[in-house]
């Protein structure tokens, strides 16, 4: 094998399996530096956290593949969570609470999608505005007050199935749904197409506007599920809950190989990216590094992931 072929092969292996190597190194490092890292209690707590941010990461992955992004998902969780808890306290039905969270989340995200598709606003701008709107409505609805008495709502987070927290099954179920959409349904092919080249996708007969709105609606569905998991995890409905969760979700998707230039991304990579973000934050906590340092670390990780993504894109362009 000549040098060029060897280099291409190593680049391919690095793109496909590099993230798994990073995750394994993180686990080894965490185990070596603190004895409580791989305990059942610690893993359970991390998995509960990953279930929320991981579902949001799947939502961001779909949007980023399509060439968009949503900065409002944390605020959508706060608003739909408040209405979900109110519905539960009024009816006593977890099913009603679940449906309310999903319907409101789909509605809000779809509005963002309409502004992006029909008005042609950049998704960054449209969803940043929606972030303010949703969070503000949450405070108006609650008067800034939290609801701590939410009955059995929290059991969603504390229930175990075969020794595994129930939220993890929700997370994996969402991952399966996203995999089916991206790999088995026309919608998935359209999402990849408009993210890769929207003009070419339109020329080939794809309804770009409708695909964009559907993608935002799908992100809303996932956000509604994340809402239920978040409210159950913290066992309360707090107006400022899930702040900056969209940042962790975006980081998990990008670390997992989803390209910010659109058209590239996998569910498997997103799952591993979510695990890396979850266990990294947990490890930093265990070794005594505070939240401020974690913010710096996450920012650096995002910059590195984006830089690698752009360098790879530039390399592919030069080869063409």
Residue found by looking up tokens 């999903």 in the block? 102
pLDDT-derived band at 18 (thresholds 50, 70, 90) equals: confident
Can you say how many angstroms the Cα of residue 156 is from the centroid of all Cα atoms in its chain?
20
Please answer whether residues 26 and 276 qualify as being in contact, where contact means their C-beta atoms are separated by less than 8 angstroms. yes
Is 145 inside a domain boundary? yes
What confidence score (pLDDT) does residue 21 get?
86
Please answer whether residues 79 and 193 qualify as being in contact, where contact means their C-beta atoms are separated by less than 8 angstroms. no
Can you say how many angstroms the Cα of residue 319 is from the centroid of all Cα atoms in its chain?
32
**Residue 7 clears pLDDT 80, i.e. is over it:** no
What confidence score (pLDDT) does residue 2 get?
64
| Interval 130-175: pLDDT, tens | 999 999 999 999 999 999 989 999 999 999 998 889 999 999 999 9
**What is the C-alpha radius of gyration for the chain, rounded to an integer number of angstroms?**
20
What confidence score (pLDDT) does residue 312 get?
67
| Interval 293-311: pLDDT, tens | 888 887 887 788 778 777 7
| Interval 180-210: pLDDT, tens | 999 999 999 999 999 999 999 999 999 999 9
Is 67 inside a domain boundary? yes
Residue, of 290 and 92, whose pLDDT is higher? 92
pLDDT-derived band at 179 (thresholds 50, 70, 90) equals: very high
| Interval 77-132: pLDDT, tens | 999 999 999 999 999 999 999 999 999 999 999 999 999 999 999 999 999 999 99
Please answer whether residues 200 and 84 qualify as being in contact, where contact means their C-beta atoms are separated by less than 8 angstroms. no
End-to-end Cα distance, the chain? 23
Is 92 inside a domain boundary? yes
Residues recorded for the chain: 320
What confidence score (pLDDT) does residue 303 get?
83
pLDDT-derived band at 262 (thresholds 50, 70, 90) equals: very high
Q: Which tokens in the block code for residue 315?
A: 């390399």
Is 318 inside a domain boundary? no
Instruction: Produce one character per residue of 191-228: b if its CB has 16 or more CB atoms within 10 Å, e if not.
Output: bbbbbbebeebeeeebebbebbbbbbbbbbbbbbbbbb
What confidence score (pLDDT) does residue 291 get?
79
Average pLDDT for residues 275-283, to the nearest whole number? 92
Q: What whole-number distance in Å separates Cα of residue 135 and Cα of residue 149? A: 21
Q: Is the dihedral of CA 257, 186, 249, 136 positive or negative?
A: positive
Supply the range of the domain harboring residue 48.
Answer: 43-311
Largest CA distance in the chain: 70
CATH number reported for the structural domain that contains residue 272 in this entry:
1.10.3470
What confidence score (pLDDT) does residue 318 get?
60
| Interval 40-78: pLDDT, tens | 889 988 988 899 999 999 999 999 999 999 999 999 999
What confidence score (pLDDT) does residue 311 get?
72
> Residue 69: CB partners within 8 Å, gap ≥ 6?
60, 63, 123, 124, 127, 250
Is 33 inside a domain boundary? no
Count structural domains, the chain. 1
pTM for the model: 0.93
What confidence score (pLDDT) does residue 95 get?
96
What confidence score (pLDDT) does residue 315 get?
64
**Residue 313 clears pLDDT 90, i.e. is over it:** no
Helices (H), 34-122: 40-65, 73-91, 94-117
What confidence score (pLDDT) does residue 304 get?
81
Average pLDDT for residues 6-26, to the nearest whole number? 76
What confidence score (pLDDT) does residue 196 get?
94
Q: Which tokens in the block code for residue 223?
A: 């956000």
Is 19 inside a domain boundary? no
Phi/psi class of residue 205: alpha, beta or left (left: φ > 0; alpha: ψ in -120 to 50)? left
The per-residue DSSP string of 265-295 comes to --HHHHHHHHHHHHHHHHHHHHTT--HHHHH
What confidence score (pLDDT) does residue 320 get?
55
């Amino acid at each position: 094998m000549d040098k060029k072929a060897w280099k291409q092969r190593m680049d391919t292996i690095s793109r496909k399996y590099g993230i798994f190597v990073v995750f394994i190194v993180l686990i080894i490092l965490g185990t070596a530096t603190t004895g409580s890292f791989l305990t059942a209690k610690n893993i359970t707590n991390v998995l509960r956290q990953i279930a929320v941010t991981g579902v949001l990461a799947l939502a961001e992955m779909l949007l980023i593949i399509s060439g968009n992004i949503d900065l409002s998902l944390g605020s959508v969780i706060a608003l739909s969570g408040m209405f979900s808890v109110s519905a539960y306290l009024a009816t006593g039905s977890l099913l009603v609470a679940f449906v309310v969270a999903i319907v409101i989340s789909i509605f809000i995200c779809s509005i963002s999608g309409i502004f992006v598709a029909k008005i042609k606003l950049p998704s960054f701008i449209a969803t940043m505005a929606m972030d303010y709107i949703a969070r503000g409505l949450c405070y108006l609805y609650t008067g800034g007050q939290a609801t701590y008495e939410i009955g059995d709502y929290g059991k969603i987070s504390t229930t175990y199935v075969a020794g595994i927290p129930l939220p993890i099954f929700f997370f994996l179920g969402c991952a399966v749904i996203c995999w089916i959409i991206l790999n088995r349904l026309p919608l998935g092919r359209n999402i990849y197409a408009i993210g890769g080249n929207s003009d070419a996708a339109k020329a080939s007969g794809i309804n770009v506007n409708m695909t964009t709105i559907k993608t935002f609606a799908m992100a809303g569905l996932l956000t509604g599920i994340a809402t239920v998991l978040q409210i159950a995890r913290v066992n309360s409905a707090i107006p400022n809950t899930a702040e900056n969760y969209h940042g962790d979700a975006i980081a998990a998707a990008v670390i997992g190989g989803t390209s910010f230039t659109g058209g590239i991304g996998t569910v498997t990579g997103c799952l591993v990216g979510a695990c890396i973000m979850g266990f990294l934050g947990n490890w930093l906590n265990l070794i005594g590094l505070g939240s401020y340092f974690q913010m710096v670390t996450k920012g650096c990780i995002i910059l590195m992931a984006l830089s690698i993504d752009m360098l790879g894109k530039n390399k592919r362009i030069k080869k063409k």
